[in-house]
Every structure is written in C-alpha cells, then in structure tokens.
Amino acid sequence: MASNKKYWKSVEELKGSSIVETMNKNEFVKEISTETFLGDKETLENSSTTRRDFLKYVGFTTAAASLAACEGPVRKSIPYVVQPNNVIAGVADWYATSMADGYDFANVLVKTREGRPIQIMPNKEANGTTNARVQASVLSLYDEKLRLKEPTKNKEVIGWNQADDEIKNALNDLKDANKPVVLLTGTMASPSTTKIVEEFMITYPNTKHVIYDAVSESAAADAMLAMYGKRTLPKYHLDKAKTIVSFGADFLGDFHGGLDKAYINGRKPTTGHMSYHVQFESNMSLTGANSDKRVVVKPSDQVFALLNLYNHITGENVASKATPLDAVVKKMAFELKKAGSKGIVLTGLNDTNAQLVALAINKAIGSEIIDTKNTLNIRQGNDAEVTQLVMDMKAGKIAGLVSYNVNPVYSLSNSLDFSEGLKKVALKVALSTENNETVDVMDYALPTPHFLESWGDTQFDQVTYGLIQPTIQPLFNTRQVQDILLSLSGSSVSYYDYLKVFASENVLNGASWNKALHNGFFKREAVEEVLGENDQNAPVVMSEVASALVNSIKSSGFELNLYTKTGLGDGKQANNPWLQEFPDPITRTSWDNYLTMSMADAKELGFENPVQDNGAINGDYAKVSINGKEIVAPVMVQPGQAKGSVGLALGFGRTFGLKEEMQVGVNAYALYTNSNNIQYGVQVEKVDGTHKFACTQVQKTIAGRHDILKVASLKEYNTVAPKDHDNGWNKPSYVSYDHKEVEANTIDLWDEHNREMGHHFNLSIDLTSCTGCGACVVACHAENNVPVVGKNEVRVGRDMHWLRIDRYYSSEVETREDAKELGLGVAATYEGLETEAENPEVTFQPMMCQHCNHAPCETVCPVAATTHGRQGQNQMTYNRCVGTRYCANNCPYRVRRFNWFRYADNNEFDFNMNNQYGKMVLNPDVVVRSRGVMEKCSMCIQLTQATILKAKKEGRPVNTDEFETACTSACTTGALVFGDINNKEDQVTALVEDKRAYNVLDYLQTKPNVIYQVKIRNTNEA
C-alpha cells in the first residue's frame, strides 16, 4: 500500500545523503556576494537613498535586498496610425491551422497579438494534441539566427527570378540527357503537395521522390506492406484496450507520433474501465514510467520474449530461445487471450521482422485495437530507398538533388558517404526553412516559410483533413516549396489557388471552404477499404521471419538503445532555448544528452554522479565504440536501466548555425547504423574528465515530508474506503492536539474568510492521467514570459520555470519496526532499497504555486508584495517586491523563483528576450519582470480576468468550464482541470469533492487551491 512506499527523486536521496539534507534546508543553494548583487561601491555611494535608510524604510535588515527591484523598465507605447483591419489592439485573435514539420504532426490553434503568433494550443475539436515541441515551435518562427532569409547561390544572394530560371534550365538539361534527379523530402502528410510532386515528376520524368525521416519507423511501414499490401502505419485505439503489452514502444513519447490521449482515455478508474499495461524495455521511458508493470529487459531479450509470446499465443514453435522472463511472457499470453479482441501488442524495434511478429500476434488474437482501415500517413520514410540513394550518389549515378527540410549531413549515420556522393552531383538545390549542415554544402539555398507563415493541408489519418493557414506575414524573403515546384513545373498558378481548388474538388464535397478554414479541419468519410491479407507479394512465413530475427541478434558487449527525448525529438528545433531548458521528464536534466547506465553496471565500471553541496550533479565520461565509430559522452546513472544495456538520445550535438549556448550534447546519429534504434556489440570504456550536468532532480527537494504523493491500486480503489483510519488509501493527516490524535483540518491558526461571493478558482491535477510529457511546462513558459536562464544557472538551482513536473521513484519497503525485527541495520536497509531501485515505480507530479488560502508566504512578506485575492489566487505585486526572499524560504512547496539577474536585454543571457525577433513572442498581457523580484505561478490571472471581462461585456455570466489556464489548455490527457468551485456545474467542483482528492502536505493546513487526485495503478489484482 501507499503507506509502505518510500518516495525518492534521486539515488542520493535514496541513500540518505547529507547533501540532500543540506538541500532540503536551503532554497537558494548558491549565494551571491552583496557587492555583486547590489552593484559596485561607487554606484552605492552615488545613490540618493542610503542602503541603511532603504532597509529601515521597508522594515527589514537582510543584506540581499535589491535596489534593482526599483528599476522597472519604462517603455513608450506607440499607437497605430492606421489600424489594420480585423485587429483590435489588446485583444487576442485565434487561428486554426496544422503543423507538419516531418517529425511532429498536430492540429493546433494559434494565438496572435497585433499580428504576432505568441502561443500554440491543441485544436481539441479536431482531436488535436500537442507536446512540448509543438508548444515551443512558435518560438522557432522568430529564430533570426538559424532561419534562411534570402535565396542564395554559392552563398551569394540572388533574386528569386534568377534562381527559378537557372534551376529550371538545369532541370530541363538533365531531363533531355535522361540523367537521374532525386527530390529528397521528409514526411509531409499533405495530399495537395503529394499531387504537386506527382505533377513535378510528370514534367521531369527522370525525377524520383525519396522520403527520408531522420528518426525512422520504416520497419513498421514495411511490415504493414508485407502483411497487408499497403505501406502505412496502423492506428491504435488504446482507449478501447483491456490489455496492452509493449516491447520497447514508447507510445506516450514519439512512437507513431504519440498515443497518450487515447491511452489515458482508456484508464479512467471512475468509469470502471482501466486497461492493464505491461511494458518490456531497457531504457526508462515515458511509457514505461506510466505502465502498470514494467519489465526491465535488454533489447536482445525483448526479441526472444516477443517470439516466445507469439509461440504461446499461436501454439507454434518458431525459432527463439528461453529467457529469464518466460514466466512473465506466459502470463502475458494468458492475459492477451483473455482480453481477446481488446488486447494489443506493440513493439518499438525498428526491425521489419519484429514488427511482423507483433502484427501476427494481433491477428491471432483478433485485435480490434489495431486499426488497418483508418491508418496513419505520418512517418513515411523509406530506409531502403535512402540507402540506395547514398550508394547511387557515391557511384556518380545521381545528377541532381533537390532537398526539402531534411538534414542528412547531420542525421545520417553514414553522412560522410552522403557528403562524398554529393560532390559528384551536378545540380544541388536545398529548399529549407533553416540553415543547416546540408544546406551549407548545396549550390542553391532557397528559403521556405515557417508553417505559421504558410498555406497548406494535412492528412494525418484517413478521416481528418487539416488546413494550414498563415498567422503572420512572412518575416523574410521566403517562398513555399509548393510554389517553387509549381513554378519549376511550368505552372503560373499560385499554391493558394491550387490548394483551394484541390480541397473543393477532392475533399470538401460541396462543403464551405471558409468554414473548413475557420475550423482548421474537415472530417471526411471513413475509407471503406479494409486491409486484408497481402495478395500482391509472397505470403509472410512466420518461421522464416523468426529465424531472420534471431539471426540478427549479436548479443556481445553492451546493447545500445537509441531514443528521442520528449523535449528535443529528432533535433529539428535544437536552436530553441525553451526546449533546451526543458527538463527531461525521467532524468530531470536539461541542456544535455548522456549515456544512461544501470546502477549495477555503473558500479562495476566505476561511473558515478556525485552531487555537489549546491545541488549540482557531475558525471564521468565514457567512450562508446561500435562498428568502427567512437563518441565520448557523459554517463547518467539511471535507476530502471536494464543491466548490460545503455541508452543515448538522438537530436543533440548540432553545431552549425546554432547559438553557442545551444551547441550542447553529442551527435548520437553517428551510431544510428541502418536506422536501427538497437545496436549490438557496443564497447563502453571510462575516460578522463568530469561533466557538469544541469539537473534539477535534487533541487527544490521536499524530501522527508510525507503526504506528497498518494498511490493506490485499482483493487483498493474499488474495495477499500479511502478515509479508513487503518487501511484507507486517501487518509486525512492527523496531528497531536491536547495529547490526542485529531484530523489536521480541525486545527487552524487562521480565521476563515467567506469565499462564496464571486469566483473562487481551483485547479485539479489527476496523477493517474498525467503522463509527465511536459507540454504544460512549455505552455506556461510561453504564456507568462518566463525567462530562459541557461545551463549554468539551471545547474545551481536558478531555473525560472513556474511549473515543474516532479518525478518520484518509489520502492516497496518494510517499516522501521519490521526492519528491527528482522535485525536489519541502516546499511542493510538502504542496500535493500538500492536493489529495489533497479526497477522502481515512477510517479509524475506537476508542482506549481498552490495558491494557499492560508499561505505561509503572505505572512512573512514585509512589504505586502504577495497577497491573497478574493478569487483564490495568491498574487504577486512585482513593483512592491524588494527581494527579501522570505516568502520562498517559508514556502513548503518550493515553488517561488527569484530573479537573480535581468534576463531581458542582457548579453549574458543571449536567448529570445535578448533580440528583436525573439521578443515578438512575448505576451503583452504579462509584464517582463525586472531584476530582484520574486515570481511564480499566477493561475494565469490575465486569462481569468479576460474571461470575466468578456462575459461582462457580453452581458452574461461566465459559462460553465469557460475559465482556462495555459497549462490546462495544453494538457492533452485532461489531467489538469481549472475552474470556479463557486459554480457548482464546473467540472473542477466535482473533482474537489471526489474521493481521490487530496492536498499535498495537507497536515500543514495551508489549504491550497490546487487539488490532486490520488494515482491509481491497475496491478491486475482484482
């Protein structure tokens, strides 16, 4: 039960290190000298107010008060001379559009202010979802450092007409000579663009279209082609699943674009339906962290476990071998047979044979969860064609190459072969939004617009047709790829006109173009064709598939699992500071990738992650060798990593064109041989050097406090009274009063206020539905102008995130009394805990200002800078704050952030707030805070007030569930719900009274307005 679990954030905390105790007592881990903080001696002496008088006037004697708090920036407002049509100053406009950058695909809404996109949210009417990268893509629009601005030839600026004429003449010459030309693009998932490409290839019949995805899922598409005759990705209706078995498929991360919304919709304990999810994996992934049962297993054993599962399900005896997991596999076979059509097996191995085994298992159980009718059009890359292209280029067989938004010089494992072959290509044209390694070696570099500046369409599945519309005029001299291809094909039609005709004739079926554009999508009728057995190719023989799969395994040395981080993905947005500073949900590390290693292997090889007294974490370096290639990467000791395996994230290590601060990590694509995410025969050797991580896992710790997390099993949820004093899974806190144990909520130091008048805001957070994805973190960052502080500042605990997602590990442990009965000493007890740490349970907990009705911060502020509003929000008055930091020291939740420096207009923090383009993303409704003040979550007070004023202007009460915050709007799974508890119809009102509702640290009786719902796990005991 929950009361028997020890929760811990890091190995140091697990071991009871004295450093953690020091961190627990110090909110600010690194002091700044008074001289550095306040200014030099001359500045102080010339001040008209002495420091002594200043401290006397404000009523405190702390030496760290900041004069800079009085230096708020003054800006002149410039009115419109001629106000643009349809733009009302001070009022946000929202546009529906779609994002498809080759890796992320989403139907979204874009918030603009005075013609500037400043925020992206999911278009929930189109069933749209967002992740951290989609949320942050609005900042990439303003990347003046990396974006291409003018068409160039051999790095000299030329006009568009000249570029058109020269490239068209060259293409015609190659056509007349019948020399091969390749159009190399990523996945576009755009039906109109597909047609334009087909017309381009008709005009130039010597041209071939090759699709290249840097992070490949080609094997899954090839398996679908082999078994069903159509090269596509299946869709999974996880909301209907009873049993989910995954072999390394991170489907809450980037597998098939992410399936988190459907997954969580199938895990609602209140509905009585909660799927049972078992994850076999080597790396600790987001999906494994959310699973009900996580089986730690090396990649090679995943393969054998998958084959053994097939044998148990079908009764066949294809090639495999016994593993230590056979008992678990046999049980999973029983569970899948019991679930029948409601069972599903997925695998993330980028191996066609492994994917075929998974498809065969699903077919054997008659799974209705896998959808071969409404399939996905994302991840269309073809590894075999890309490999052939590189070979042909090296052989001098390719005369022309036109690329669009791909970067193989960076992301191909054999990029040297690609670069060598490129020298033999006569015509080299790059169409790209950004400058990168590949664009730099092409003859022509033609700038294309960001998706927020573009027209277009998308078709992510067979039903939802999305439209892309510009939300801002092009910032640079760009031209859309479709317009370029149309022009090269000899057409004078603009892409906008082409798109409108295409949609009307092929999709809308008489429906309104304007309505579809307004909504951002159009629902098409489901395709009637149902994929069946593939009659075109030879039938799949599973015995041959199994033999080939077994023979592909070379289990010598370490096994490397290459994966993508939730924040950076394939690395397209590596120059985006919001994503670089976004802490990884699992390791809580930002500004880095690293080699994850199990505690056992780290101990054996001598790798450590020592924690400094200021909370900073260091690491040793390892040389990783495979297939004649070597890279050196820092090591992160990761609980839950399979022994004998290591993990490394793709998408890092870019240098060309990036700001110096963003040139972090190592390029793992060099080890991505044959686009296989599993590499065998890896050698790992410790080398000299110490790496400095920017990791927040032991910072702002509230270790030693109880009632932070509450977790219960589904059986307990259904059978045990939550408030039961002895066995309840949501017991209230008790305190000693008058020598008696009484409920904490009966003892109070404050008088209650009447909060029934007006609005009273609450935020409910469902720990069962929170996957830890972090979309809410970036959304908060964008909405509230949260500054980026850089790696060095994060390292010493000065990150400015208003919302963080704490990651806790837990282990089932005996009580202290039981340990004494067993004769276990302290060392033996901790040794047992470390054994549990090989596969800990994981829980994510979003943590922001709790907006306490009895707030400890408010009672200690000497200048009343932090006060409580009638609507339940704890408010900050920035121009009253003098930086005592008393409030932060008195906050038990460690959620207040102090501006040690001025982060805007300061070359020391060269991020988006330090250049004119980057500032365009700032939200004018939220002040950019000056140095020396405290800041924290405001429950998006600017949004709540805007909602109230809108209703008042329209002469109506606020509608039910009309209030929203940035984090709740961005949450794909609905884990965060915001509203007014004085409106009895608001969803949050019922959640506050739900039997799963509790407050963090409720024994303190701060009475927060943030309510958590107990996490429920389906341990399959019922």
Residue 831 backbone class (left: φ over 0; alpha: ψ -120 to 50; beta: rest):
alpha
Checking if the pLDDT of 65 tops 60, the result is: no
Lowest mean pLDDT across 367-371, 456-460, 525-529, 588-592: 525-529
Residue 173, both tokens: 């010459």
Residue-wise pLDDT for 300-324, tens only, equals 999 999 999 999 999 888 888 888 8
800 phi, psi to nearest 5 deg = -110, 10
Q: What average pLDDT does range 121-146 have in this prediction?
A: 92
- DSSP for residue 151: -
Q: What average pLDDT does range 953-959 have in this prediction?
A: 92
Checking if the pLDDT of 729 tops 60, the result is: yes
**Cβ contact 459:433 at 8 Å:** no
Residue-wise pLDDT for 377-436, tens only, equals 999 999 999 999 999 999 999 999 999 999 999 999 999 999 999 999 999 999 999 999
2: Cβ contacts below 8 Å, ≥ 6 apart? 709, 710, 711, 712, 729
Residue-wise pLDDT for 432-474, tens only, equals 999 999 999 999 999 999 999 999 999 999 899 999 999 999 9
Count CB neighbours of 530 within 10 A.
9
- Distance between CA atoms of residues 211 and 207, nearest Å: 13
Report the candidate in 324, 276, 332 with the shortest Cα–Cα distance to residue 304.
324
The whole-number pLDDT of residue 31 equals 60
Residue 144, both tokens: 């003046």
The whole-number pLDDT of residue 72 equals 45
Write the single-letter amino acid at 99.
M
Confidence of residue 812 (pLDDT cuts 50, 70, 90): low
Which residues share a beta bridge with 370? 236
Secondary structure of residue 663 in the 3-state scheme: coil
- Distance between CA atoms of residues 662 and 1019, nearest Å: 42
| 3-state percent breakdown (helix, strand, coil) of the chain, nearest 5 | 35, 20, 45
The helix (H) or strand (E) run that includes residue 265 is helix 260-265
**Cβ contact 918:912 at 8 Å:** yes
Residue-wise pLDDT for 334-349, tens only, equals 999 999 999 999 999 9
Q: What average pLDDT does range 542-548 have in this prediction?
A: 90
Per-residue CA distances from 737 to 27, 137, 706, 741, 999 (Å): 30, 54, 19, 6, 21
**Cβ contact 316:310 at 8 Å:** yes
Residue-wise pLDDT for 746-803, tens only, equals 888 777 888 888 899 999 999 999 999 999 999 999 999 999 999 989 988 889 999 9
Residue-wise pLDDT for 512-538, tens only, equals 999 999 999 998 776 555 455 554 556
The whole-number pLDDT of residue 811 equals 67
Number of H helices, E strands in the chain: 34, 43
- Per DSSP (E only), the strands in 777-818 are 804-812
The whole-number pLDDT of residue 36 equals 55
Checking if the pLDDT of 1014 tops 90, the result is: yes
The residue ranking higher by pLDDT, 441 or 743, is: 441
545: Cβ contacts below 8 Å, ≥ 6 apart? 318, 353, 356, 357, 360
Entry pTM: 0.89
Q: What average pLDDT does range 487-497 have in this prediction?
A: 92
Q: Tokens 């040389």 belong to which residue? A: 623
Checking if the pLDDT of 281 tops 90, the result is: yes
Helix 383-394 to helix 415-422 angle, to the nearest 10 degrees? 50
Q: What average pLDDT does range 905-914 have in this prediction?
A: 88
Checking if the pLDDT of 967 tops 70, the result is: yes
Residue-wise pLDDT for 417-431, tens only, equals 999 999 999 999 999
Dihedral sign (CA 292, 293, 297, 301): negative
The whole-chain average pLDDT of the chain stands at 86
The residue ranking higher by pLDDT, 460 or 708, is: 460
Length of the chain: 1022
- Distance between CA atoms of residues 60 and 387, nearest Å: 69
Rg (CA), the chain: 29
| Ordered DSSP codes for 690-713 | EEEEEE-TTTT--TT-SSS--EEE
